[in-house]
Structure 1
């Protein structure tokens, strides 16, 4: 499961502590289901462990091409890691410290942090500046680097990742969540059915319209609308994309091929006000359903 890809821009160097580390305590658990819990990383060592999980998924499983230093260290890492908060899912039945318990992770970047740290990660692929400019009264949050170890790719884990992101967004007064979602492989035509379904049925429009950057734009309009079997298209979707569609998300216009991460990306746009009432009721408007 991946949510975003390697950037072609680099944020400004910063001496700031990771947002995940500053001022944390042991009371920041955001949710629990059985033996799994979700919370924000509390230390640099936990962020390092999350980067190791990302390496196992992106490099070893999905064949992403990372830097020689990343390969040597067996860590997926970039400069955004030092300014983002890192949402973790931990298996509390595993003996050892929290680093050994981490089975999934999500990277969260609030607009106020991005503004002082070189911008959002997905700006290298999509024209999110125009989208944000149209909503100067709203607070945006980018979600990225989503991954879960194979043995934990279950409904419970996905629910906890969303529970954590939802609870975090409420705590920080977020109005809009967005981020890149990935299809495996660098040939969009191999995902013609799914991409065409997204283009014809859930394209972000009007005030929420956003497009891939012109130099990276790849059309998603690969099949005529009448030729798209919706049921088969949904089966062909990555689980994370399907999850966002159920929540009420829209998709930006155009896909982007990322050769480094061996993926084809689309942009998810999810205004809080458009989240399906069914899911608000399920998780709780106050994120209370799975609260610890």
Structure 2
């Protein structure tokens, strides 16, 4: 399912940071060494992030995008027009900003999504019911996470989470969610990890959310007594393990995304569930790497 191409009438409160007379660097969420994390400031930076996504998703993971995206060598869709784009930039790299962006995340707040056509994850999971169960909460969607191979290090991941955390606090978000992926389109190849998620961290009660019925693939592929937790965690992509460390839950049912050559699960992370250890590490005010 794809979103119709959206007009670029971004609300004033979503205007990119750094364009309202702020001093240079005022929109930076965090720094470690030569790396910094901040939002994309203009279309040029968003297009550079899309090229990073193309390198990871197409050249590395064999995704098949639209003909226009493949021709332009950029991963883009309609949601890019309404999302904020979190970047990790390496200022030590000489050249233009296109050369300095090494990682990215796509962030979408509930009020923007509902006004502009919905969440990306709703094409695979029944997000509307989750939102309806929490009329007093504000959700944000995380998506399109990727980092260039040479930068898949602890400090890059820390900066991405610093940015997500600072963004959530800035906008008063109550919970995060988003699709996370296993490589390949055969869930049975990930039976151990998927079964562990199903039996141990399934979102329940008011947080329960399921894959869309027509796309649903069972994650209960092994009996609980046959699951070795340590081996299951070792078999998971680093991004999913990172979510679990923060206190995330997982929706019921997986979805095969043939275009991206992945098996997707839905991550659900209430802000209140984030481990105190991580809140203390990043700072209750997101100040850990802000200086």
TM-score, normalised relative to structure 1: 0.95
Task: Indicate the structure whose relative CO is greater, using CA pairs within 8 Å and at least 6 residues apart.
Answer: 1
> Which residue pairs with 2:155 in the alignment?
156
> Which residue pairs with 1:5 in the alignment?
none
> Which residue pairs with 2:8 in the alignment?
15
Q: CA deviation at 1:161?
A: 0.4
Q: CA deviation at 1:291?
A: 0.7
Per-residue Cα deviation, 1:166-197 (whole angstroms, up to 9, x for no partner)? 00000000000000000000000000000000
Correspondence 1:164-179 to 2 at 5 A:
164-179=163-178
Superposition RMSD in Å: 1.2
Structure 1 residue matching 2:116: 3-state secondary structure = coil
Query: 4+ runs of 1 displaced by more than 6 Å?
Result: none
Contact 1:20 1:41 in 2 (8 A): no
Per-residue Cα deviation, 1:35-73 (whole angstroms, up to 9, x for no partner)? 110000001000000000000000100000111111110
- Rounded to whole Å, the distance in 1 between the matches of 2:2 and 2:70 is 20
- Rounded to whole Å, the distance in 2 between the matches of 1:185 and 1:237 is 13
Q: Structure 2: which 5+ residue stretches go unaligned? A: none
Structure 2 residue matching 1:240: 3-state secondary structure = helix
Contact 2:28 2:37 in 1 (8 A): yes
- Rounded to whole Å, the distance in 2 between the matches of 1:55 and 1:12 is 19
Contact 2:210 2:252 in 1 (8 A): yes
Contact 2:18 2:27 in 1 (8 A): no
1:92 to 1:237, Cα distance in 2 relative to 1, 3 A? same
Q: Structure 1: which 5+ residue stretches go unaligned? A: 1-7
Per-residue Cα deviation, 1:22-42 (whole angstroms, up to 9, x for no partner)? 763531000001111000000
1:103 to 1:20, Cα distance in 2 relative to 1, 3 A? farther
> Which residue pairs with 2:87 in the alignment?
88
Contact 1:87 1:108 in 2 (8 A): yes
In the alignment of these two chains, the number of paired residues is 285
- Rounded to whole Å, the distance in 2 between the matches of 1:239 and 1:15 is 34
Correspondence 1:230-269 to 2 at 5 A:
230-269=229-268
Structure 2 residue matching 1:156: 3-state secondary structure = helix
Contact 1:130 1:210 in 2 (8 A): yes
